[in-house]
Structure 1
Amino acid sequence: MATGIQQTTHSVEAATVLKLLPARPRLLALGEPTHGEDTLLEVRNDLFFPLIEQEGYRTVAIESDCIKGLVVDAYVTSGTGSLDEVMERGFSHGFGASAANRELVRRLRAFNDGRPASDQVRFAGFDGPLEITGAESPRQSLTALHGYLAAHVDAGLLPCGAYTLDQLLGTDDRWTEPAAMMDPSRSAGQSAEAEVLRLLSDDLVALLDAQAPHLIEATSREDLDRARLYGRTATGLLRYHFWMADASPSRMARLIGLRDLMMADNLLALADRGPVLVHAHNSHLQRDKSTMRMWDQPLLEWWSAGALVAARLGDGYGFLATALGTIRHQGVDTPPADTLEGLLYALPQDRCIVDARQLSTALGEMPSAPRVSPWFGYSSLDPAQVAAYDGIVFVKDVPQS
């Protein structure tokens, strides 16, 4: 069996990635099985930059706040701000503390320096302004959308004024109440004000679309695209807050699905402007249904952003999962031999790319149990899903960053 699997492996190079795919995808995604390990992000950087330099990919999108990501994009395209400021203000989930993410931003800025805007690489966060424990206020995105429209369309077309919007939004802490994730009654998402805001945000987005020809001419396509991002974020956040206030048993599954829907909408918008490289957790990018256990909840199931994008783009979406052998500093030791990771760990290479479909064939009828992780922060691959991957990047050992 080891010999059969060995024949499915290749060196970790960008050219290898493209050979696994039927055509160059518009969205090429690389997943990771855990967050916070710079070794995995260094592998990402080493794969992404040749694809930027040789294959014309011109957007890098990562699992981080889409609004904060505008700060990073301004830096890599025009040098706005300092690298220290950008790493502090431009990322969510603590990702700005990563040395590998810092190196990504630095290299993007160096690549863009002196290039015309049409040939620069853009940066994007594609997650909503969400954390596992809650969601941001819709104030920033909703007021930015309203301000853009107020500056460029007839005031009589606006569904409300800025003062009305401000009064309905109230204080931000009513939206970010930490207890709301565990106690739906603490959420403001189904208040009378929130219901009006959902209608107003829908009207503002409709007005944005109805005035698109004028807005492109009066501002730019870039400004219109940014306003659309604000619109998607505002409506997505208000929808998310609405269901945070729901007390039904399907509440958490719905919230997780809504988060990935926001991710998918952002990715599809990015793909409209050119080919995109994507990096996020495997569970947000795989084509099959994703599952997770959270707190005392039953097993949660949802369609990931990758599954939603693949349903729209077909072969225009490519996905490589990352698997790993050990993260010993987190208690993740040598994988059992009868798991997928155990079979890969027996290979001589420290790092390799595996042709997932060939691997699925090589596994044949051999039983392969999912690996059980002793650490909640790491998720192993499901052997039953291997055939739905385009490839697997395997990293044998992940040392402490």
Structure 2
Amino acid sequence: MPYPTHATLTDWIAREAAPFSLDPSDSFNAAVDRMMAALGGSVDLLVLRNRLFMRLVEAHGYTAIAVESSFPRGRLVDDYVAGRGPASYEDVMEEGFSHGFGRLDANRDLVEWMRAYNADPAHRTKLRFYGFDTPTEFGGSDSPRQLLEFVLDYLTSVDSAAGRAFRDRIEPLIGRDADWEDPATVFDPTKSIGRSLAAKELRVATEDLIADLQRRRPDLVALAGSDRFREVMHYAASARWLLSYHAGLADTSDDRVSRLLGMRDAMMAENLAYILSRERGREGKVLAFAHNEHLRRGKAEWRWGANLWRWSPAGAHLDAILGPRYALIGSGVGVSDANGIGRPEPGTLEDLLTAAPGPGRFIPTHRGEGLPAGAVATLPTRSGSKKNPGYFPLTPQSLVEFDWLAVLDSTGYARGGPPLPEYNTT
């Protein structure tokens, strides 16, 4: 079906924006339902957050949320959501999240709502919580120990002799976690042990472990089930990726940072594809939540001082893997004093969107179809943030790479996070 043609961007916004309020009201649910009807029933992976997730669970068959936090750590939070394991949120707040995200009140609210939902016997389909980020971040990367021990524990549980043999081979090669997790490796490749003799031997041992599990698939599936086998194999593959990432940290080539950023996003996409396969097994769908730059369909860019790094983000991989089963909502904001984001300059996309009825609105982009091409191409980009270097304004590409935009007039800073100081933008 052809999309409507609009003479101007203002005409597009006025005719197609679905305004909503975040206060308890029917307007938000109606806007979400309108958006979901337009996306159609083929979408299995969608992107946004708390109120949206609640509505998607209640009315649209969603069974899981995946957030930009460490994949292996997320298992602890999922145990809590399921009503097993830890007794309180405080028990998972630090160990269950990376990047300090467990301290944010929005994440606490989300997890506690999911736990209460699952505790209700009227809800036969239980919700799952996932992290889908890699165990890496700008301040350093995890040791491969957690991922490999998960696999070794499984192997030991089904074949104690084989598990013990691989453990005796692998654990001495891991060595000290602090050597892997040294934050200095981010900027100084000579500090990384990722290409040491022990690290190379560990990569070979990990490949041997994966090959051994794969050759024994029929017996292992018969012993512990196919879901458990797939989970263990994904952890093993994640360990392989992480060891490759550590080797990349030791690289001295000019494209080192771009390669590392690209590897992280490729791993994120693999995690989401695995998560989606688990949920499809019970006819569920997944809401993913992360930075726009991770989930966009085109090339991601990050300028840091004189450096400009470009790579394929997770969204580009997911678009190639899932096609129309992947839908993307980009988020934007007009003003956020706490984040150092001032009023958008006249004529920018945020300025045009926040002029429409709000205080929030969903609006379909139609991936640029039906929009005035000349006006889109010449859209100015608003200025960035004086406090948050991770803030990226919307651009003309946002109208091509996102399926919908969700734009708020204003927002505060995430409760529970540290205040942001101003930084030197030059």
Q: Is this a same-fold pair by TM over 0.5?
A: yes
Q: Tell me the equivalent position of 1:39.
A: none
Q: What SS is found at the alignment partner of 1:87?
A: coil
Of 377, 401, 409, which aligns to 1:396?
A: 409
Between the aligned partners of 1:231 and 1:118, the Cα distance in structure 2 is 31
Q: Tell me the equivalent position of 2:424.
A: none
CA apart distance, 1:295: 5.0
User: Given the alignment of the two structures, is residue 385 of structure 1 paired with residue 401 of structure 2, yes or no?
Assistant: no
Between the aligned partners of 2:166 and 2:105, the Cα distance in structure 1 is 44
Of 276, 279, 295, which aligns to 2:286?
A: 276
Between the aligned partners of 2:124 and 2:314, the Cα distance in structure 1 is 27
AA paired with 1:87?
A: M
CA apart distance, 1:363: 4.4
User: Given the alignment of the two structures, is residue 372 of structure 1 paired with residue 377 of structure 2, yes or no?
Assistant: no
Q: Tell me the equivalent position of 2:198.
A: 193
User: Given the alignment of the two structures, is residue 20 of structure 1 paired with residue 38 of structure 2, yes or no?
Assistant: yes
Query: Residues 78, 207 of structure 1: CA spacing in aligned structure 2 closer, same or farther, 3 A cutoff?
Result: farther
Higher mean displacement: 363-372 or 181-190: 363-372
Between the aligned partners of 1:93 and 1:202, the Cα distance in structure 2 is 29
* 1:301-316 correspondence to structure 2 within 5 Å: 301-316=310-325
Q: Tell me the equivalent position of 1:112.
A: 118
Q: Tell me the equivalent position of 2:242.
A: 237
Of 267, 286, 291, which aligns to 1:262?
A: 267
**Conservation of the 8 A alpha-carbon contact between 2:151 and 2:235:** yes
Query: What 5-or-longer segments of structure 1 have no aligned partner?
Result: 31-43
Between the aligned partners of 1:187 and 1:110, the Cα distance in structure 2 is 44
**Conservation of the 8 A alpha-carbon contact between 2:141 and 2:183:** no
AA paired with 2:209?
A: L
Between the aligned partners of 2:347 and 2:409, the Cα distance in structure 1 is 16
- Report the RMSD for the aligned CA atoms in angstroms: 2.1
- Show CA shifts across 1:94-151 (max 9, x none): 1111111111001111111144997111110001111112210001111221231233
AA paired with 1:388?
A: E
User: Given the alignment of the two structures, is residue 343 of structure 1 paired with residue 348 of structure 2, yes or no?
Assistant: no
CA apart distance, 1:199: 1.5
Q: Tell me the equivalent position of 1:34.
A: none
Q: Tell me the equivalent position of 2:4.
A: none
Query: Residues 147, 398 of structure 1: CA spacing in aligned structure 2 closer, same or farther, 3 A cutoff?
Result: same
Percent identity reads 34
TM-score, normalised to structure 1, is 0.90
**Conservation of the 8 A alpha-carbon contact between 1:159 and 1:200:** no
Where relative contact order (Cα < 8 A, 6+ residues apart) is larger, the structure is 1
Of 314, 326, 334, which aligns to 1:317?
A: 326
**Conservation of the 8 A alpha-carbon contact between 2:78 and 2:130:** yes
Of 255, 278, 301, which aligns to 1:291?
A: 301
Between the aligned partners of 1:336 and 1:240, the Cα distance in structure 2 is 40
Aligned residue pairs, count: 386
**Conservation of the 8 A alpha-carbon contact between 2:117 and 2:123:** no
Query: Residues 208, 52 of structure 1: CA spacing in aligned structure 2 closer, same or farther, 3 A cutoff?
Result: farther
Of 65, 72, 77, which aligns to 2:82?
A: 77
**Conservation of the 8 A alpha-carbon contact between 2:364 and 2:403:** yes
CA apart distance, 1:365: 1.5
Q: Tell me the equivalent position of 1:6.
A: 14
Q: What SS is found at the alignment partner of 2:264?
A: helix
Q: What SS is found at the alignment partner of 2:46?
A: strand
Query: Residues 371, 363 of structure 1: CA spacing in aligned structure 2 closer, same or farther, 3 A cutoff?
Result: farther
**Conservation of the 8 A alpha-carbon contact between 1:287 and 1:389:** yes
* 1:19-38 correspondence to structure 2 within 5 Å: 19-30=37-48
Between the aligned partners of 1:384 and 1:334, the Cα distance in structure 2 is 21
Q: What SS is found at the alignment partner of 1:291?
A: strand
Q: Tell me the equivalent position of 1:57.
A: 62
Q: What SS is found at the alignment partner of 1:70?
A: helix
Between the aligned partners of 2:188 and 2:254, the Cα distance in structure 1 is 13
**Conservation of the 8 A alpha-carbon contact between 2:63 and 2:125:** yes
**Conservation of the 8 A alpha-carbon contact between 2:339 and 2:412:** no
Between the aligned partners of 1:276 and 1:62, the Cα distance in structure 2 is 10
User: Given the alignment of the two structures, is residue 246 of structure 1 paired with residue 254 of structure 2, yes or no?
Assistant: no
Q: What SS is found at the alignment partner of 2:93?
A: helix
* 1:90-101 correspondence to structure 2 within 5 Å: 90-101=96-107
Q: Tell me the equivalent position of 2:343.
A: 334
Higher mean displacement: 301-310 or 229-238: 229-238
CA apart distance, 1:368: 0.5
AA paired with 2:380?
A: A
**Conservation of the 8 A alpha-carbon contact between 1:22 and 1:315:** no
